[in-house]
């Protein structure tokens, strides 16, 4: 009973109660906006990003890194050559932050290499259109870590700041992002 009376005195009349509720709602809304602006969210396909926009270096030092070079601006802008450092043999070993997870044997199978890339737009089994790059590896060391099949990454971001991501489940966010 004493606690109830203290609470009533603290809040006072109905207008004070209403003001208290409004302040709480505003504080909650502001905190949600601030939290959503600090996270980068899930990457989305952006068909405005073209092959010509992809020329550049992606990834962080010590993690999987890729550098794309466009073959010829305008004429063959959707293809070119690339180089990788610390690249995983299996893309499914890429973590969300671009680092590479260990395999079942506790080892990280990474390599440095180069090859050719192509950009195209495709539709996945879930009817979502997205840009993708296909990576065909030609050289690499150690050679036993070189993938035998092409690797594919989805393309997102903006034309000014493209990014690559790996999406393995349509109901979740990308499993890895390389910026």
Q: What is the pLDDT of residue 20?
A: 53
Q: What is the pLDDT of residue 92?
A: 85
How many domains is the chain built from?
Answer: 2
Q: Does 92 fall in a domain?
A: yes
Q: What is the pLDDT of residue 10?
A: 56
Q: Does 170 fall in a domain?
A: yes
Q: Are residues 95 and 69 in the same domain?
A: yes
Q: Are residues 23 and 107 in the same domain?
A: no
Select the highest-mean-pLDDT range: 12-16, 67-71, 107-111.
Answer: 67-71
Q: Are residues 160 and 77 in the same domain?
A: yes
Q: Does 147 fall in a domain?
A: yes
Q: Which of 82, 64, 45, 87 is nearest to 174 (CA)?
A: 45
Mean pLDDT of 18-45: 50
Q: Does 45 fall in a domain?
A: no
Q: Are residues 120 and 65 in the same domain?
A: yes
Report the 3 state secondary structure along 24-40.
HHHHHHHHHHHHHHHCC
pLDDT class for 95, splitting at 50, 70, 90?
confident
Q: Are residues 26 and 83 in the same domain?
A: no
Q: Is the pLDDT of residue 103 over 70?
A: yes
Q: For residue 16, what are the domain limits? A: 2-38
From CA 41, how far away is CA 106, in angstroms rounded? 30
From CA 70, how far away is CA 82, in angstroms rounded? 9
Q: Does 88 fall in a domain?
A: yes
Q: Are residues 85 and 145 in the same domain?
A: yes
pTM (predicted TM-score):
0.72
Q: Are residues 30 and 63 in the same domain?
A: no
Q: Are residues 23 and 61 in the same domain?
A: no
From CA 154, how far away is CA 44, in angstroms rounded? 9
From CA 39, how far away is CA 35, in angstroms rounded? 7
Q: Are residues 81 and 105 in the same domain?
A: yes
Residue whose tokens read 């990014």:
163
């Amino acid at each position: 009973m004493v606690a109830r009376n203290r609470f009533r005195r603290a809040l006072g009349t109905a207008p004070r109660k209403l003001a208290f509720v409004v302040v709480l709602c505003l504080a909650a809304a502001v905190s949600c906006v601030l939290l959503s602006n600090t996270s980068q969210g899930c990457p989305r396909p952006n068909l405005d990003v073209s092959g010509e926009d992809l020329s550049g270096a992606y990834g962080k030092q010590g993690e999987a890194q890729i550098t794309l070079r466009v073959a010829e601006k305008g004429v063959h802008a959707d293809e070119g050559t690339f180089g990788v450092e610390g690249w995983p043999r299996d893309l499914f070993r890429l973590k969300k932050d671009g680092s590479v997870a260990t395999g079942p044997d506790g080892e990280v199978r990474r390599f440095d290499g180069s090859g050719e890339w192509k950009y195209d737009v495709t539709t996945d089994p879930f009817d979502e259109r997205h840009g993708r790059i296909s990576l065909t590896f030609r050289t690499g060391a150690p050679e036993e870590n070189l993938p035998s099949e092409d690797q594919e990454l989805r393309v997102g971001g903006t034309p000014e700041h493209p990014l690559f991501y790996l999406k393995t489940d349509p109901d979740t966010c990308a499993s890895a992002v390389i910026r």
